[in-house]
Chains A and B, each alone.
Chain A
Amino acid sequence: MKSPDFSYVRATSLDEALAMLADSEDAVILAGGQSLVAALNLRLQAPELVIDINHIPGLDRIELAEGKLRIGPLVRHAQLMASAEAARALPLIAQALPHVAHPAIRNRGTTCGSLAYGDPAAEMPACAVALDATLVLASRDGTREVPARDFYDGLYETRRAPHEMLIEARFPAAPEGARAMFAELAVRRGDFASLGLAGQLHLDAGAIAAFDLVAFASEPAPHLLTGVAELALGQRPDARLAADLAQAVAEAVDPLESPLATPAMRRRQYRALAERCLRDAMELADA
């Protein structure tokens, strides 16, 4: 299990990295490398060129300005986890990050890398969709912004073109009093989830003023449950609402058939998971 041969270049600037990405037929960006190097070892990938961006200055910034939290492409999961500013601005991300793999992986793995990779079972893409983040893609020809809600097409399929690099993820900071909803079902701590929910709700004068919930891992891409949000908006949180919304989640998801569980089982699990994380977010007492 040794990687195939490849050329390796250490980029010194973003422009240089993007130029090499554009010039090579078959280049990959190495940021955290926690998925890429595994794929190389497994010989699942055999790129001609590996472009290491780890030594480009300034890519590891977390910045809060004008109500947006900007995460640079070299911000590691561990760095984001340790940022008090990020935890305040993005309570959902703070709640989800401990579920991302294990300490050693979080020390190297980058949040943008996870967003760009688009593993259906990963937590960060689901959070980005739930929080309506904006993903900034750059190529030699310029930059463009894609809402995370449009970015994920399917199993590892994203709107990123091969010559583009995700250079920033921009999250709207949570409004005062926003409450995160996060729950996932994984066999072991840190494993890829078999199903999960990520979202945020916000109360205004005792009624739900904002509600975004995403189902992930059981479908090819994060699934924003807009129908559930419609039912939630304007309602006052109570046990009955939590149960109704949980039922709506179970009906709205579209789990893939898998050898481990039928869609019917997945819906049942979703209902239970949703009710629990809704009750938590609504700060209701245990059932």
Chain B
Amino acid sequence: MEMQDSRIIAAPRETVFEGILKPEMLRACIPGAEDVTGSAEDGFEAVVVQKVGPVKARFKGAVTIEDVLPGTSLRLVGEGKGGAAGFARGAATVTLADHPEGTELTYAVDAKVGGKIAQLGSRIIDGFARKMADQFFERFKTELEGARPVAPSLED
């Protein structure tokens, strides 16, 4: 499925862009992330647990950042292998633009789910992907705008 949404973030464009590249930001923003290791250059490894309605799945995944146009856009590509449950993969193309109230972050997400999870119905899967993306960028906005600073380093 594909979907698109945007958020206005009360922070300058450069700050927003740098924020995305920080590993601790991924840690804080990926919904259900239990464990994130790695770096923006080499990619991140994560264990993610997600629940939508009757489905609760645990994925071992990798997140890479591609097509970086500093300050302007990048692609976040996440891929999770769920053992017998199947796989989940999402790519978010993030574009930043100046906005009177800070920065407009637009994201276009293309999500794919496969294997047993896909078999159980697109109804749930669409909800799954939508929820993941919305939560990610909502948390991202909160983290960047919030008084609470991003934790400098979590133990791996």
Residues of chain A contacted by B102 (CB below 8 angstroms):
none
Number of A residues near B (Cβ < 8 Å) is 19
Q: Is the CB of B122 within 8 A of A155?
A: no
A-side binding surface: helix, strand, loop or mixed? Answer: loop
Selected A-B contacts with CB under 8 Å, 5 pairs: A43-B85, A45-B55, A155-B123, A156-B124, A258-B123
- B53 at the A interface (CB under 8 A): yes
In whole angstroms, how far apart are the Cα atoms of A38 and B54 in the complex? Answer: 9
Q: Is the CB of A156 within 8 A of B54?
A: yes
- B120 at the A interface (CB under 8 A): yes
Q: Is the CB of A44 within 8 A of B55?
A: yes
Q: Is the CB of B127 within 8 A of A154?
A: yes
CB distance from A153 to the nearest CB of B (A): 11
Q: With CB as the reference atom, state the residue of chain A lying closest to B56.
A: A45
In whole angstroms, how far apart are the Cα atoms of A155 and B54 in the complex? Answer: 10
Q: Is the CB of B54 within 8 A of A35?
A: yes
Residues A220 and B55 in contact in the complex (CB < 8 Å), given A43-B84, A43-B85, A259-B122: no
Residues of chain A contacted by B40 (CB below 8 angstroms):
none
Q: Is the CB of B56 within 8 A of A156?
A: no
Number of B residues near A (Cβ < 8 Å) is 15
Residues of chain B contacted by A220 (CB below 8 angstroms):
127
CB distance from B9 to the nearest CB of A (A): 23
Q: Is the CB of B52 within 8 A of A156?
A: yes
CB distance from A43 to the nearest CB of B (A): 7
Chain A to chain B: the 6 pairs with minimum beta-carbon distance, closest first: A156-B53, A155-B127, A39-B54, A44-B55, A45-B56, A44-B54
Residues of chain A contacted by B116 (CB below 8 angstroms):
43
Residues of chain B contacted by A46 (CB below 8 angstroms):
56
Q: With CB as the reference atom, state the residue of chain B lying closest to A155.
A: B127
**Residue-wise interface mask of A (39-55) relative to B, using a CB-CB cutoff of 8 A (1 in contact, 0 not):** 10011111000000000
Residue of B54, B55, B57, B84 most packed against chain A (CB within 10 A): B54
In whole angstroms, how far apart are the Cα atoms of A219 and B2 in the complex? Answer: 18
Residues of chain B contacted by A120 (CB below 8 angstroms):
123
Residues of chain B contacted by A117 (CB below 8 angstroms):
53
In whole angstroms, how far apart are the Cα atoms of A117 and B53 in the complex? Answer: 8
Q: With CB as the reference atom, state the residue of chain A lying closest to B51.
A: A45
Q: Is the CB of B53 within 8 A of A42?
A: no
Q: With CB as the reference atom, state the residue of chain A lying closest to B84.
A: A43
Residues of chain A contacted by B85 (CB below 8 angstroms):
43
In whole angstroms, how far apart are the Cα atoms of A70 and B105 in the complex? Answer: 48
Q: Is the CB of A156 within 8 A of B120?
A: no
Q: Is the CB of B52 within 8 A of A155?
A: yes
For B120, give its contact among A35, A44, A119, A256 (CB under 8 Å). A44
Residues of chain A contacted by B124 (CB below 8 angstroms):
155-156
Q: With CB as the reference atom, state the residue of chain B lying closest to A156.
A: B53
Which residues of chain B from 121 to 135 have a CB within 8 Å of any chain A CB? Answer: 122-124, 126-127
Residues of chain A contacted by B54 (CB below 8 angstroms):
35, 38-39, 44-45, 156
